[in-house]
Structure 1
């Protein structure tokens, strides 16, 4: 049900409620005022629960995490790109140590595959008509289908009535014989000679709508409704260095010569008269200018889902889009593995077809001239890199091989040590010149795809560098501005914390507001800097000369969202942890009111995540357990939602922790559990029993903590 706001916000939402449903709380009735005075006082860092739902005495400080590792939402579980120096390190047996890459390698999830591996040559074909096996006699996989069905896999699971959700929706299951709902789409036919053959069943009526995107020759490589699925041969060519980076090589060669020339003139002694020409006289234009960029738009009606490593996977983004997210980002990928054709990092680039639809926008709002909403889309890609050549070549590679991409965002805010120590992520905040070279180069090779950046306030608390960095991203450094114009950064997102703070303090929206004011000033300054002698090239200015500015941090309700847009004057707000805890926050923003989701409605979102996970990763043993793993990661945040009807004070705060409480029914109490064993029970409702070999260890193994008030 909808819960009215705690304060009146005219025109806050996009769908006005009838007057009878809108209640003012600014001037409470006498009885209401009396009940307000009876409420327990607010305590910083503590969510005040109504007394009838408390398990402990009111006001008692109950066990609670002292430090919740919310770095896990933004970049946890990923290891950094390999450092070439590590090649010299030896493993325990004297061999070279191979660094682990990909997601959550520091945590083990057990074995997630079948007991026996079925050969791909028969995994999708009728029993008597297998495809030729590429390995021939060397193949060590199973080629006996009936033996595999009897001994190589576990029994079919009974959730969803035993019917495969993927087959039920699309008429065909890409998991083939490996599907754990196999009995719903297989049959045994008898031939004239008496032989009985097992065959897979398809629904031609449902399949017709999905056939256009299907790879018939390699069905194992296709997931319905998924775009940006790069073929394996391209990844192989990248891994074997068979891809030509013509644009990047030309630009990097020019950049190397120009940098050397600039340094020579910058450091030469003032009395050195051998050189008669100054740097400006010898400056040579780059081999090519960036082409006219596609114009993008960020506005009040386009709340954005932040790039979230592990949590920001394709099924979760799809759920958020369904609930009203207008802009989404991929999980953060590393530039070097992208160039090396790493399968895991390229998998992060996949998007759902709902993410390539145009975002909503208000034509009467501050839309730049030339913006074409029909050519816009929701999905953007985020990468990180520690060297300009990696960022530049990655941008060219992504532009070439990803047809559905709104923009490329360079991560300059990731606080994780593994990323920071390589010089990527938030380490770029202290190297503004390097970051500027990255963005200029990425713009030069990314065709029409705009380049954006996500930053933090600074590395350390006592040295905030965001304002100077924003000036540089808007106007360009003084040493490069005169020759090359603006860097062409289309948008900047500022997370209102430093790297040192991680998530231990509240986001500083006053500082974000100061930077938003500077952006508006700098957008005007760019026009003042131009003159008739050296006019800034139009194709170096994004969005016709405007750089958008987004704020990020601690947005947990529509009240927070509109406060930030109205008071901090940001173009829109990027929402991270708030969306994981409460995915329907985007719907609240659209409707302009609180939505008190019942336990059964919240369970529906979990069911949708399970269905979307099977569509993305498969309904076989591996796919189900990938879905289970990411669902459990989702539930580790989802349980932190406190139902609106249980709170004494609104608006709710993302950083407040509740005392022990019970829900309005048993299901609501279960969904609030912080015990990971309960999360596994919830996952089994939609994914069946977890196999014995599957493991899940929460990031926090102890339940005895104390509340830490925010500074």
Structure 2
């Protein structure tokens, strides 16, 4: 799997130009040693490109709006996994007509990032099999024509063949020489193929028949139906109680003021009396039926709130947790983090409504690699009906999960406008009904929540919500120490997190609730300081893991790892191997892997090598001035230019097609406003 081998990655010391100016370190600026600083100069406009952050969340808003509407957000162009071949966002109104395009999703043309072959060869024919759809097959059967335009192999080893003993892409594979004999026939390692199947390696591949059933609403969800019937009657009973309380309050007020209620009742006719009796009998019957439904579940008679049996609590104390990350928290990236020792992983946020529509690309977000020994699925929704049905459907599908997490932290406007994500934090009654219902529906599967400190910066509400989560059976709460309003500006408020943790530990009831903090963990010092001082059971890590996935090793070993450029490059190659294995080793899979490698590099370039820093550790929101690395490769890996990211992919995956364009999603160098993590 070698690309352009002309690049020299040896760690030879690069001598910075003599004109490099020494800058005085300012607040918010990373303290880089003077000898590595580049000369002070204004970067030309064409070099200013996007980092992984967006103050306006333009792309995320479009992407998540489409997902909420149930629209396809990817370019489905082949028979294998198409769930993440995402395309650039469609046009949107420009804020300023003359603003230069700097990779910020500025109303750009819809350009497909998933580049496929000019000739789309039938998958059956590519494997040397017989196509049973002929003559109605819409794909080409001309193998010779395909091979003529395919281009040379990108390497000598096929990641798919190495794992499974066969390659389902056949002659379409860009590493086909590894499993093609001298006569052009596909080779199969029978022993390995018999021993290892895809379902052994990648779990939770949703059955097509199940998807059809759920799309046709043919899946029964008895626990959800029972709870929703109870909830409807509970709401009516609550309204009745509230109406009675209002009438009693009004009567008391009238009594205090000395006013008397005038009886304006008139004499009723026999027919009217009969109708009144009939209505009262119907009202009494409905009340009895409602009470029978309410009595099916234990509840607080004062406010008709559902009470759950306490489940076995999650014991995540002392375990490292990779936060669920939109787009970049894909299965290959999670595998990279597993190789560095992370304990808990969670899939990317999936929309409950899309899962209930049976959308394949959404169900793909529940996939789990066999190495992910503690794995959860994160969902988002805006109603008890959709969230509960989604939870029960996931359970019925046979999806192997250790917990299901509800996203209550997503700050993206497209999500919060419809009442999902962090918008649910302000609907405490509704939120209680959702969490209590999910706990009941999931039965033995733990239900967890990920929240922010609140919607508004000056009005944190998380401390009031945590006891309610405990009451309705939530097994774990993780809190991001920022509000929805803040997004990622300022520092995470670990003092507030510590205050909540202290309340939990002082409570006789809540002391068994697992509680994690989240925000700005970038070093093992950050991690252990929070565990020792913030009254938390653990710290969830998001951006820190994207920038330096070896952070989990640093945490486990309590050491600083001055990782070399060649070691970092090997990590990228490891990701590519995992990506080709997951997305495919044909042209489409190669360029899907290329795209997601670029997405990840839009974070990883922000890493500052340990040997370049005057003061340790690196802080996540500190911006580095332009600097040289200790060798050419280290300098290249620190580049914020997206063209350099594509160049790095070419060193591993070969020359990118002319039609391949990577336009970063977000605004240039906005370190404080990433929207990948809720």
Short-chain TM bin: 0.7 to 0.9
**Cα distance, 1:702 vs. partner?**
5.6
Q: Which residue of 2 aligns with 1:593?
A: 559
Q: Which residue of 1 aligns with 2:529?
A: 563
Whether 1:307 and 2:324 are equivalent positions in the alignment is: yes
459, 462, 467: which is aligned to 1:463? 459
Residue 691 of structure 1: SS of its match in structure 2? coil
What are the Cα deviations for residues 156-189 of structure 1, in whole angstroms up to 9, with x where unaligned? 3333xx3212213432112223211122212354
**Cα distance, 1:111 vs. partner?**
5.0
**Cα distance, 1:289 vs. partner?**
8.6
Whether 1:177 and 2:171 are equivalent positions in the alignment is: yes
**Cα distance, 1:554 vs. partner?**
0.2
Whether 1:546 and 2:512 are equivalent positions in the alignment is: yes
- The 5 Å alignment of 1:381-400 reads 381-400=377-396
Distance 1:591 1:648, change over 3 A: same
Residue 184 of structure 1: SS of its match in structure 2? helix
User: After alignment, is 231-240 or 389-398 more displaced?
Assistant: 231-240
630, 652, 657: which is aligned to 2:596? 630
- The 5 Å alignment of 1:453-492 reads 453-474=449-470, 486-492=471-477
**Cα distance, 1:241 vs. partner?**
1.7
- Give the distance between the partners of 2:430 and 2:543, measured in 1 at CA: 30
What are the Cα deviations for residues 626-677 of structure 1, in whole angstroms up to 9, with x where unaligned? 1111100000001000001110011210111111110111111011011111
**5+ unaligned residues in a row in structure 1: which ranges?**
1-38, 87-99, 190-197, 215-221, 357-377, 475-485, 527-544
Q: Which residue of 1 aligns with 2:301?
A: none
Q: Which residue of 1 aligns with 2:143?
A: 145
Whether 1:69 and 2:45 are equivalent positions in the alignment is: no
- Give the distance between the partners of 1:146 and 1:132, measured in 2 at CA: 20
Q: Which residue of 1 aligns with 2:273?
A: none
- Give the distance between the partners of 1:170 and 1:653, measured in 2 at CA: 42
Distance 1:187 1:647, change over 3 A: same
**5+ unaligned residues in a row in structure 2: which ranges?**
1-21, 72-82, 90-109, 252-279, 299-305, 674-678
- Give the distance between the partners of 2:70 and 2:540, measured in 1 at CA: 36
CA contact (8 A) 1:564 1:570 kept: yes
- Give the distance between the partners of 2:347 and 2:48, measured in 1 at CA: 32
Q: TM-score, normalised by structure 2?
A: 0.78
- Give the distance between the partners of 1:353 and 1:66, measured in 2 at CA: 34
**Cα distance, 1:330 vs. partner?**
0.3
CA contact (8 A) 1:409 1:452 kept: yes
User: After alignment, is 458-467 or 48-57 more displaced?
Assistant: 48-57
- Give the distance between the partners of 2:604 and 2:457, measured in 1 at CA: 30
What are the Cα deviations for residues 168-212 of structure 1, in whole angstroms up to 9, with x where unaligned? 3432112223211122212354xxxxxxxx4210123433431xx
What are the Cα deviations for residues 538-589 of structure 1, in whole angstroms up to 9, with x where unaligned? xxxxxxx721110000000000001111110110000000000000000000
150, 154, 159: which is aligned to 1:165? 159
- Give the distance between the partners of 2:139 and 2:24, measured in 1 at CA: 66
Residue 515 of structure 2: SS of its match in structure 1? strand
- Give the distance between the partners of 1:40 and 1:622, measured in 2 at CA: 46
- The 5 Å alignment of 1:509-520 reads 509-520=494-505
User: After alignment, is 69-78 or 392-401 more displaced?
Assistant: 69-78
Residue 649 of structure 2: SS of its match in structure 1? helix
Distance 1:573 1:244, change over 3 A: same
Q: Which residue of 2 aligns with 1:433?
A: 429
Residue 328 of structure 1: SS of its match in structure 2? strand
Distance 1:104 1:469, change over 3 A: farther
Q: Which residue of 2 aligns with 1:14?
A: none
Q: Which residue of 2 aligns with 1:673?
A: 639
CA contact (8 A) 1:657 1:707 kept: no
346, 351, 355: which is aligned to 2:363? 346
What are the Cα deviations for residues 51-109 of structure 1, in whole angstroms up to 9, with x where unaligned? 11111369x9x9999996268799677313666799xxxxxxxxxxxxx9995651633
224, 244, 268: which is aligned to 2:220? 244
Rg comparison, structure with higher value: 2
- Give the distance between the partners of 1:64 and 1:654, measured in 2 at CA: 21
What are the Cα deviations for residues 673-698 of structure 1, in whole angstroms up to 9, with x where unaligned? 11111100111122121112212112
Whether 1:296 and 2:306 are equivalent positions in the alignment is: no
Distance 1:286 1:108, change over 3 A: farther
105, 116, 119: which is aligned to 1:116? 119
**Cα distance, 1:293 vs. partner?**
3.9
- Give the distance between the partners of 1:111 and 1:81, measured in 2 at CA: 18
**Cα distance, 1:233 vs. partner?**
1.7
Whether 1:498 and 2:500 are equivalent positions in the alignment is: no
- Give the distance between the partners of 1:557 and 1:571, measured in 2 at CA: 17
CA contact (8 A) 1:80 1:418 kept: yes
- Give the distance between the partners of 1:187 and 1:615, measured in 2 at CA: 21
565, 570, 584: which is aligned to 1:618? 584
Q: Which residue of 1 aligns with 2:404?
A: 408
**Cα distance, 1:408 vs. partner?**
0.4
Q: TM-score, normalised by structure 1?
A: 0.75
**Cα distance, 1:141 vs. partner?**
1.4
Query: Which one scores higher on RCO, CA 8 angstroms, separation ≥ 6?
Result: 2
Q: Which residue of 1 aligns with 2:231?
A: 255
CA contact (8 A) 1:305 1:328 kept: yes
Residue 595 of structure 1: SS of its match in structure 2? coil
295, 301, 305: which is aligned to 1:284? 295
Residue 207 of structure 1: SS of its match in structure 2? helix
CA contact (8 A) 2:436 2:473 kept: yes
Whether 1:580 and 2:598 are equivalent positions in the alignment is: no
CA contact (8 A) 2:62 2:414 kept: no
Whether 1:662 and 2:628 are equivalent positions in the alignment is: yes
> Would you say how many aligned residue pairs link Structure 1 and Structure 2?
575
- Give the distance between the partners of 1:289 and 1:383, measured in 2 at CA: 23
CA contact (8 A) 2:545 2:551 kept: yes
Q: Which residue of 1 aligns with 2:345?
A: 328
- Give the distance between the partners of 1:671 and 1:425, measured in 2 at CA: 34
- Give the distance between the partners of 1:684 and 1:305, measured in 2 at CA: 28
